[in-house]
Structure 1
Amino acid sequence: MTALRKPLTAAAILSLATLLTAGCTGGTTASGTPSTPHTKSSAGRKAPSEGSEEGQGRRAKAALEGVSVDDPEFLESGLERVQDGVHNRSSLTKGETYRLSVACVGTGTVNVVIADKAPESVPCDGIPTGRRVENAPERLRIDIDAATGATGMVAWQIDSVPS
């Protein structure tokens, strides 16, 4: 059995084009009002708000941009939720001098402990703080924990200090 093909009329082509266009853009509802698409393109997305995790993370990382990842002084960095904390063991060259920088964006404070030394309280105000690590051990333990009620994002970075 052979199917018969009829040429499409101009009206049929216009109707088909209208259906395809309406299906791709959300079209109109039965009342003729525009409907909202179920997904948005990246062009329609808003930038993350300053209070969102993504916005807080971006601000925390930006606060530590003194040394680029391309600089020879850069060693390593990270970004974590304040509630998750940071528990890192960094491999260093024993006896060298390094700088640990921390920036927290959110609310409350975090407690920074380097190599089991006394904790330092760092407010989550987006202002970076740094501490020199002289005569570094081969493995540097870094622990950053949230104080009660603290929220937000915390960024950290280790850079070598030229002698």
Structure 2
Amino acid sequence: MKLRWITGCAVVPTLLLTACTSDTDAEPWHAFSPTATHRTTQADTEKRLTAAARSALDGVTDEGASMVESGVERVSDGVHTQLGLTQGTTYKLTVVCAGKGTVRITLAPAAAGEKKPIPCDQSIAFERIKPKAASAHLDIVGNPGASGMIAWRVNKM
């Protein structure tokens, strides 16, 4: 009698485990993970917004100006970089944000520039930079609720 009870205790959990992990589910909605779909959609959206921001940025020609630095970042990550600029030289910062909401540009030291709001509607914003120090720190951060991609470029004038 004890042997049957022990065997039953071992077999029943195995059957339940096998039934729960069966791959014969007839409901198709179990085949897709919402998280994977969300990531794919988010990646596609980022690619589309990156292409839009770069296209708008590339549409601005800076004849005779040499590029110093550039990049593309998520609004959620922001742009945070130390620009290696020459004191007393004039530079032009070009920024495009594609997405929704607004971002703001901050250059430090404060004399190098000021906070400037930029809409994330693919508008092109320009900021003239003439650093009083050997380098300037660039921050572009999203305001609450902003999302999308930021493309930026610094050219020597």
The bucket for the TM-score relative to the shorter chain is 0.5 to 0.7
Unmatched runs of 5 consecutive residues or more in structure 2: 1-40
CA RMSD, Structure 1 to Structure 2 (Å): 2.2
Contact kept? 1:104, 1:123, Cα under 8 Å = yes
TM-score of the aligned structures, taking structure 2 as reference length: 0.64
Separation in structure 2 between the aligned mates of residue 158 and residue 62 of structure 1, nearest angstrom: 16
User: Quick check: 1:83 aligned with 2:76?
Assistant: yes
User: Quick check: 1:93 aligned with 2:86?
Assistant: yes
Contact kept? 1:113, 1:143, Cα under 8 Å = yes
Match of 1:155 in 2: 151
Of structures 1 and 2, the one with the larger relative CO (CA 8 A, separation 6+) is 2
In terms of fraction of residues, the more strand-rich structure is 2
Unmatched runs of 5 consecutive residues or more in structure 1: 1-47
CA deviation digits over 1:68-96, x for unaligned, max 9?
Answer: 7xx76111101000000000101011110
In terms of fraction of residues, the more helix-rich structure is 2
Separation in structure 1 between the aligned mates of residue 139 and residue 107 of structure 2, nearest angstrom: 7
Select 2:52's aligned residue among 35, 41, 59: 59
Number of residue pairs the alignment of both structures matches: 111
Identity of aligned residues (%): 35
Select 1:137's aligned residue among 116, 133, 136: 133
TM-score of the aligned structures, taking structure 1 as reference length: 0.62
